[in-house]
Structure 1
Amino acid sequence: MWEQLMSMITESGQQSVIENPEVPNEHNEAVIAEAKDAIASKLGDLAASGQTQQVQEMLDTPDHPEARSIQSNFATNIMEKFGINQQAAAGIAASLIPTVLNAIRGNANNNAAGNAGGGFNIQDILQSLGGGGNLQSTLSGIGAKLGLDKDGDGDVDLGDLTKMFK
Structure 2
Amino acid sequence: MMTKSMINTTAACELVEKEAEILDDGRYEDWLNLWAAEALYWVPTTPEPDPDDPFASVSLVYADRSEINDRVSRLLGGHAFAQDPFSRTTRILSKPRATAREDGTVVVESRFILHEVRLEQVHVWSGRYSHEIVTVNETPMISRKIVLLVNCDRPLPNMTFLL
TM range (shorter): under 0.3
Q: Bigger radius of gyration, 1 or 2?
A: 1
Q: Which has the higher helix share?
A: 1
TM-score, length basis structure 1: 0.27
TM-score, normalised via structure 2 length: 0.28
> Which has the larger strand fraction?
2
